[in-house]
Amino acid sequence: MKSRKYLFPIITFILSFGCALFVAIKVFPNNPFTGNKEEKATASKFKDGDLIFQTSESKQCEAVRIATNSKFSHCGIIYDINGKWFVFEAVQPVKLTPLEDWIKHGRDSKYVVKRLKDDSVLKPEVLQKMKDYSQQFDGKEYDAYFEWTDNRIYCSELIWKIYKNAAGIELSKLKELKDFNLKDPRVQKILKERYGNDIPLEEKVVAPSDIADSTILKTVIDTY
């Protein structure tokens, strides 16, 4: 009789726990920036939080290179997730891209990887804070107008804000749009298409080249 007395509460607990677990899995899926497995990273030449730069193929990217006098027109931040390397990048939409695929998207698959000269500040808890902060941008629209808001976001703005707001590190000084070379006809064409006659010359901007030239970064890989 005693065994029957406790049988019903035990069965009820098991069923309740099972239902709760099912709901938790459905409502709170795995965080794509952390995952739930621990595997050894496949390429030790990269580090969590590294910054990667490339030359992209598009008219807008060509205009960016001309305006900034740089070969770089796109960048992202490298994350180790479940032992695999991804690049968190602002394209359409903002997303995590497998590192190998990201490299192939650049001209001749060439790229440069930069790292903090003193990367000891990127302790595990800081890196996790950066990944947690990154989640708010995942899936957002790419910002073709280069506005300094969080509504939409472009590539160099994304990694600048992650480092600044999650790690407290300012990768470079911000500029204004008027500080760049805007006189080239190819740049003028893009500006005309984007803004018409109302170009926001005083808009705060950070370019891939500004971050790549940062004095607090060092080059760890250069395949150019």
Question: What pLDDT shows up at residue 190?
Answer: 93
Question: What pLDDT shows up at residue 26?
Answer: 35
Q: Would you give the end-to-end CA distance of the chain in angstroms?
A: 79
| Beta pairing, strands 112-116 & 95-98 | unpaired
Low-confidence ranges of the chain (pLDDT < 70): 1-44
Question: What pLDDT shows up at residue 35?
Answer: 55
Q: What is the DSSP letter of 31?
A: P
Q: Give the residue among 204, 172, 219, 220 at the shortest CA–CA distance from 43.
A: 220
Query: Are 139 and 168 a contacting pair, CB within 8 Å?
Result: no
Query: Are 46 and 88 a contacting pair, CB within 8 Å?
Result: no
Provide the whole-model pTM.
0.82
Question: What pLDDT shows up at residue 18?
Answer: 43
SS3 state of residue 85: strand
At residue 189, what is the residue type?
K
Give CA–CA dist 196/185, Å, rounded: 14
Question: What pLDDT shows up at residue 21?
Answer: 38
Query: Are 51 and 155 a contacting pair, CB within 8 Å?
Result: no
Question: What pLDDT shows up at residue 57?
Answer: 83
222 Cβ neighbours under 8 A, 6+ residues apart: 112, 113
Question: What pLDDT shows up at residue 34?
Answer: 63
Give CA–CA dist 156/142, Å, rounded: 11
Query: Are 97 and 87 a contacting pair, CB within 8 Å?
Result: yes
Query: Are 152 and 140 a contacting pair, CB within 8 Å?
Result: yes
Total residues belonging to the chain: 224
